[in-house]
Amino acid sequence: MKRPIIGITCGTEYDSNQQAVADRLPRSYVRAVLAAGGAPLAIPNLKESETDALLDILDGLILSGGRDIAPSLYGSAEAHPSVELDHDRDTRELPLIRTAIEMDLPILAICRGVQSLNVALGGTLYQDLPTDRPSAVAHRQDAARDAATHSIAVHGASLLARSLGATELRVNSFHHQAVRQPAAALTVVGWAEDGLIEAVEMEGRRFVVGVQYHPEEMVGVCGASRQLFGALIAACG
């Protein structure tokens, strides 16, 4: 049986002059897709016309984690000092997301990916959680990548809950930004213990799910995270 081709967006590597020189993709995404039965394909930060040609051969799409999104793209005039930008990726990824949704490609958006999804559809972000929304929950952990450090609650009737096979989950956490105002097209379906939005999904599409945690880092220790990738692959059939 042919494996569905799953595109995975990449971050950008810059030289000392802030010129884009390469694209970067952690291997954990590749391994998670392979383990779930998919064929991973890295999507470089190309021109829109070039990316559209790649979208035509994909069965599904993962929006990966990475640097922060330019605040100007969601209506903020100034960037917080903690913000680390990836303009090259912003320019290319947001149009790609809109096109993929129009094509009804199954999409799993992870960490920066869920933030990109939200901004692409008109939502806003917290620029820096310690400044904008202080909390006792450590959203940027110092623990190992596969260590679960806080809990999330998932709406029982959601696609995400069915995909995970759970309505409560212990997750890892490596972010200082998050969804603030969700886009009108997205439904919030997951929350951290402090009420912060941790997951969204889009109705009327085969599979558009976004999570703030990094399930690709937890597939070796968390059955629900493995099931999430399996659900993406199943939606591609």
Question: pLDDT (tens digit, 9 = 90+) per residue, 91-138?
Answer: 999 999 999 999 999 999 999 999 999 999 999 999 999 998 988 787
Q: What is the DSSP string of 28-66?
A: HHHHHHHHHT-EEEEE----HHHHHHHHTT-SEEEE---
Which listed residue (10, 111, 222, 236) is catalytic?
111
- Which residue type does 32 have? A
Which listed residue (10, 214, 217, 222) is catalytic?
214
The full set of domain ranges for the chain reads: 5-235
The yes-or-no answer on residue 175 being catalytic is no
CATH number of 5-235: 3.40.50.880
For the segment 41-46, the average pLDDT, to the nearest whole number, is: 94
Q: What is the pLDDT of residue 52?
A: 84
Question: pLDDT (tens digit, 9 = 90+) per residue, 148-158?
Answer: 889 999 999 99
Average pLDDT, whole number, for the chain? 95
Rounded distance between C-alpha atoms, residue 137 and residue 126, angstroms: 15
pTM: 0.96
Rounded distance between C-alpha atoms, residue 202 and residue 205, angstroms: 6
Widest CA span of the chain, in angstroms?
50
Return the DSSP state at 210: E
Distant-in-sequence, close-in-space partners of 231: CB < 8 Å, separation ≥ 6: 159, 162, 163, 207, 209
Q: What is the pLDDT of residue 216?
A: 98
Q: Angle between the 87-102 and 48-55 helix axes, to the nearest 10 degrees?
A: 40
Rounded distance between C-alpha atoms, residue 40 and residue 59, angstroms: 10
The yes-or-no answer on residue 216 being catalytic is yes
Of 24 and 147, the one with more pLDDT: 24
Q: What is the pLDDT of residue 140?
A: 78
Rounded distance between C-alpha atoms, residue 225 and residue 147, angstroms: 13
Unique residue bearing structure tokens 């330019």: 70
Rounded distance between C-alpha atoms, residue 114 and residue 164, angstroms: 17
Distant-in-sequence, close-in-space partners of 124: CB < 8 Å, separation ≥ 6: 74, 75, 76, 118, 179, 180, 181
Which listed residue (93, 198, 216, 217) is catalytic?
216
Rounded distance between C-alpha atoms, residue 18 and residue 33, angstroms: 31
